[in-house]
Amino acid sequence: MDIIGHDWATSLLQSHIARGQTRHAYLLTGPPNVGKSTLAIRFAQALNCEQPPKPGEYCGECKICERTLAGSFSDLHILQSAAHERTIKVDQIRELQHKLSLTPYEGRFRVALLRGFHEATDQASNALLKTLEEPPEKVVLLLTATAAEMLLPTIVSRCEHLQLRPMALIDLEAALIERGEDKDQAHFIARIAGGLPGMALRMLDDPAALETRATHLNEFAKLLRGNLGDRFSFVEAWEGRLRRKFDRLGDRRTESIRVLELWLGFFYDALHLAYDVGTPISNPDQSEAIEAFVESRAPSEIIDGLKALVGTMEAISANANLRLALETLMLDLPTRVLEE
């Protein structure tokens, strides 16, 4: 399968198809952008490919492979939460169950991809459990989630569980070079993506995303040097920008968390540097700002800042008032001694 990393998972899935031992349900877990959905789609292609080059592989060129990749194949059902709601509801599961009760239309299997199943309500989880207990013929369920602990144990135990981890930076770098990236770019992207192939590919596909990332990090470095007044003005301006860009509050929260994740990367780098761990930092383009920050702080302040960032992300996920959460963060991030 044409996939970056996760060789062991790929060969396991291939061997299941090749030996005719496909399970009824698989659970792929791992951090966002580690490549769970990509692997699931590749597996769905291999399950139904019209002309597999080898048993368990897919060609990538037949109608079914193309439509599976595009998400428009009649025997592939993709289910996930709406971005602004972040919950998978029982009605969605019932609708899926109805579709799965029909025999495959064109393919060998009906495949259901349930993305981010940790967002399912208890009701939805219990409804799905019925399908897992009595799976219909010729149906393969593919669940993805950030971590197995976030699902009902009875769901996990009925799936073949594959845990995906970020790649070693050097392996991701090599894979990007093999795909035709130049050496320096591959080195840089592998690091800022933190070994997450999905993140690396997205950044390569979208140069604007790289620029946005740099802007957010530069703003953050400036913010850390600023006084409280600067910080509160920043939050006000940021919230205004979010309001103009996103109508839905849920989208504003998602975007804020994405930016806070970048800030968190800056703090992890600072922590590694402060304790001289010797691992390469994940934001090499920010090394000057990170070094300057570390020189002016005690390591304990960096740890407190990390905790404040993580706490803010959790609060925003749990629907805290966005403005208030960000303002609290501004108070909790390490400050310089206020100038007289």
Of 43 and 238, CB closest to Zn ion: 43
Of 68 and 256, CB closest to Zn ion: 68
> Binders of Zn ion among 41-100, rule CB under 5 A?
49, 58-59, 62, 65
Q: Min. distance of Cβ 69 from Zn ion in angstroms?
A: 10
Establish if 270 lies at the interface with Zn ion (CB under 5 A).
no
Contact call for residues 7 and 172 (beta carbons, < 8 A): no
Q: Min. distance of Cβ 34 from Zn ion in angstroms?
A: 25
Structure tokens at 166: 């970020």
Q: Min. distance of Cβ 80 from Zn ion in angstroms?
A: 24
Please classify residue 51 by burial: count the beta carbons closer than 10 Å to its beta carbon, then call 0-12 exposed, 13-18 middle and 19+ buried. exposed
Distance in angstroms (rounded) separating the CA atoms of residues 111 and 255 = 31
Give, to the nearest 10 degrees, the angle between helix 207-225 and helix 287-295: 20
Of 59 and 152, CB closest to Zn ion: 59
Structure tokens at 269: 């780098």
Contact call for residues 128 and 155 (beta carbons, < 8 A): yes
**HSE of 51 in the Cβ direction (CA atoms, 13 Å)?**
6
Q: Min. distance of Cβ 279 from Zn ion in angstroms?
A: 41
| Bridge partner list, 144 | 28
**HSE of 9 in the Cβ direction (CA atoms, 13 Å)?**
26
Q: What is the largest CA-CA distance in the chain?
A: 75
Q: Min. distance of Cβ 71 from Zn ion in angstroms?
A: 15
Of 69 and 315, CB closest to Zn ion: 69
- Dihedral of alpha carbons 141, 147, 152, 157, sign: positive
Distance in angstroms (rounded) separating the CA atoms of residues 100 and 112 = 8
Of 73 and 266, CB closest to Zn ion: 73
Of 30 and 52, CB closest to Zn ion: 52
Of 19 and 63, CB closest to Zn ion: 63
Rg (CA), the chain: 22
Q: Min. distance of Cβ 46 from Zn ion in angstroms?
A: 8
Q: Min. distance of Cβ 268 from Zn ion in angstroms?
A: 41
Distance in angstroms (rounded) separating the CA atoms of residues 319 and 111 = 33
Q: Min. distance of Cβ 198 from Zn ion in angstroms?
A: 22
Give the helix ranges, DSSP H, for the chain: 7-18, 36-48, 63-70, 90-100, 122-133, 153-157, 169-178, 183-192, 197-205, 207-225, 228-245, 249-274, 287-295, 299-317, 322-332
Of 68 and 312, CB closest to Zn ion: 68
Residues that bind Zn ion (CB under 5 A): 49, 58-59, 62, 65
